[in-house]
Chain A
């Protein structure tokens, strides 16, 4: 019989890839493996109240049992995890997610100590999607108004000659339609649900097909006391379905979602522009000050900024090789 109810709260819709590809299979596995003793209740679209930046604290404070959120929704709060938001860091969802597992064990313990992390993961790296004109080279980007997903990307876009606009995700579609922005750095998988597909027709990828600009760090976190209160056998069920055990499923789900949305955009007449690998060097050179600033800020805050950056890069390379 059911002993434990876990209420899962997030801001995406009930038909988003997160729900369909990750949370629903995860719910099924846990309910089956616990013999029905754990009952997972999903509350998409912020149904339990509040705004997206509150989600992390909702899980920490036990307002909900589990929350899914973006760490970049509270800028300044997770400075070390921010290293993955630096330009050109992210790869496929699987690659970045696997790299994050190793990185989390090494460096994120302190930032996540207030919760029981179930899964730290990432989407496939974000591309630039534009409406007014295609971006086929660095020169095209000059002066364009581009929505940035994080503060690292804000600085990167400015360093690349664009004008970064900080804007909540729900505003993006309308802002594109109305010309408030010329383009946006966003993940493919929210394309359809945000109705951006009908507006932005040019898509810029970096270096290789599907190479991206940047990524964000997603977190599925559980209330600590709730986790501690579980009997050992139920803890084991949760453990068997979190962290490195859940990461491959999450990586595949978001890569599949990206591939599907990308294909849909191409079928609908969208054009993909791939910046040649040789040209990407110039992009990277331009954004070097952003890396330097991040390392300096982390070092000033008492962390070993350079080591953290090197470890993040090494983890990404190692995950990419697999």
Chain B
């Protein structure tokens, strides 16, 4: 979409490695394709239901499993493009150095939370596997989804680390990148 970069309420753009941007883009595209697959499956299920009187078995649970994968794959892209909204009002006049330093602090907090969530999700996935939890109709093991979700979360951690470094360097250098 050709939407212009909003001027505020988002993080300042920051330098990150090219390979990381590419990796985040791949994950976002993968998540997007899963979303498109969900869309097509749902439309097909409605069509089957209307024409044949029977939906695709397990359509609801496929949407649920797909949804978790989609959102996880989207998270790193949102982080690397500065998509998380913030309140800009109180620091608008503080100058780019201070703002970059504060955004580095925000990334540090997010980094810690990302590590915590991913570590706990790993244990959650292990339990899903150990207890053999499955979806109701198709009996898809719940832990299968985590084979995509956990790498996506790991990428979120790496991305947050690099945006933090980027903000920190920008704060040190005092450079303004509009």
Contacts and interface: CB of A to CB of B under 8 A. Distances in A.
A and B, direct touch (CB closer than 8 Å): yes
A166 to B, nearest CB: 4
Interface residues of A, number: 20
A72 to B, nearest CB: 8
A154 interface: yes
A79 B133 CA distance: 10
A75 B131 CA distance: 10
Contacts of B53: 143, 145, 163
Contact of A167 (B60, B127, B131, B133): B60
A250 B127 CA distance: 31
Contacts of A163: 53-55, 57
B60 A145 contact: no
Interface residues of B, number: 18
A314 interface: no
Interface of B is mostly: loop
Contact of B131 (A77, A145, A168, A171): A77
Nearest to A150: B136
Contacts of B134: 75-76, 151
B139 A75 contact: yes
Given A76-B132, A180-B49, A151 B54 contact: no
Nearest to A78: B131
Contacts of A148: 136-137
Return the 4 tightest CB-CB contacts between A and B, nearest first: A76-B134, A166-B137, A163-B54, A76-B132
Interface of B: 49, 53-55, 57-58, 60-61, 127, 131-137, 139, 141
Given A76-B141, A151-B139, 6 more contacts: A75-B139, A79-B132, A143-B53, A163-B53, A163-B57, A166-B137
